[in-house]
């Protein structure tokens, strides 16, 4: 992604470089390299990977927050119970986040 893509054409139109580039008989090296090196990328696979990774990050964040909350407040007296509770809540929040994100697609 190129953030300056909207700025460069408007600037080149102002100083009339675009017209000179369009009438040039040769193709610049940057354009040919970009065409040769471009590979087809599966958008569906990337989208699925982004959805899963986002849901995992949300679930792990919930797990961490519940674990720290359990340690600080001693909501559950034993550490093993705190770990199990945080893992359970983290998995639940991750699955819910995945369902919510997947519902948009």
pTM: 0.56
Domain ranges in the chain? 3-37, 43-104
pLDDT at 58: 96
For the stretch 35-59, pLDDT in tens is 555 556 577 778 889 999 999 999 9
pLDDT at 15 over 80: no
- Residue pair 102/87 in contact (Cβ under 8 Å)? The answer is no
C-alpha distances (whole Å) from 96 to each of 25, 53, 54, 87 are 57, 13, 12, 14
* CA atoms of 9 and 16, how far apart (whole Å): 10
Confidence of residue 6 (pLDDT cuts 50, 70, 90): low
pLDDT grade, residue 104 (50/70/90)? Answer: low
Q: What is the rounded CA–CA span in Å between residue 37 and residue 40?
A: 10
């Amino acid at each position: 992604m190129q953030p300056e893509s909207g700025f460069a054409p408007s600037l080149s139109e102002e100083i009339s470089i675009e017209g000179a580039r369009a009438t040039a008989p040769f193709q610049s090296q940057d354009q040919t390299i970009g065409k040769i090196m471009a590979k087809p990328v599966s958008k569906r696979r990337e989208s699925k990977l982004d959805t899963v990774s986002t849901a995992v990050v949300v679930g792990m964040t919930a797990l961490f927050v519940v674990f720290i909350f359990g340690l600080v407040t001693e909501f559950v007296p034993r550490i093993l119970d705190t770990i199990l509770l945080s893992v359970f809540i983290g998995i639940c929040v991750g699955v819910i986040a995945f369902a919510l994100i997947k519902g948009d697609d």
